[in-house]
Amino acid sequence: MPSSITYERVAHLIDPECVEAVNVLGPTIQFLTSPEETSAPCIMRGTIPPAVSIPLHSHADPETFVLISGEVEGLVITGDGSSWVPIDPGEIFHVPPNVKHAWKNQGRLPAVMIVISTSKMGRFFQELGKPAAPGAPPSPPSPQEVQRFLETADRYGYWNATPEENARVGLSVGQP
């Protein structure tokens, strides 16, 4: 993946506005640290556009999210059922390994968050991402893009819910 950031081996500032963004089926990811450093966490800046959801899924990679701006809801599943939890700027949402989770942005503004995960997760996004056009609204993914996503997720050992499982938690998503 081409990047406008040079990952230096010295302490340095990173300007998130100068880091190239990749589109992953609607949301965008910017790599603030390199996913190639396998022993280090991968720090990313993720943006979920308004009216965009990330379907129910799980993976062995833990993720910690810090909402910077906008509005977003994270899905929490317990033995008693599931609920959508509103997350405000400055709040931290942690997803342990292999825990099912989802996101939805029903606000009018993009939800921007810092995402801390593994280098493996970063490489997954890197492999799937397409260069994001600055300021361009997301377009619905094609059936071929969704199929490629599912195949890549399967190769990485990531689980994705069926449309019926997503519907049970209040998400309407289609899969080929």
Lowest mean per-residue pLDDT among 22-31, 38-47, 130-139, 163-172:
130-139
Single-letter residue type at 44: M
More confident of the two residues 31 and 13: 31
Q: What is the pTM of this model?
A: 0.88
Please give the Cα distance from 114 to 48 (Å, whole number). 12
Strand segments, DSSP code E, in the chain are 21-23, 28-31, 42-48, 52-58, 63-69, 72-78, 81-87, 92-95, 101-105, 111-117, 130-131, 159-160
Average pLDDT over all residues of the chain: 89
pLDDT of residue 20: 77
Cβ atoms < 10 Å from Cβ of 175:
14
Q: Which two tokens stand for residue 41?
A: 């966490």
Closest of 17, 29, 52, 57 to residue 125, by C-alpha: 29
- Cβ–Cβ under 8 Å, residues 102 and 56: yes
Please give the Cα distance from 172 to 99 (Å, whole number). 20
Residue-wise pLDDT for 53-79, tens only, equals: 999 999 999 999 999 999 999 999 998
Domains and CATH numbers, the chain: 16-132+140-168 (2.60.120.10)
pLDDT of residue 38: 73
As beta bridge partners, residue 67 has 113
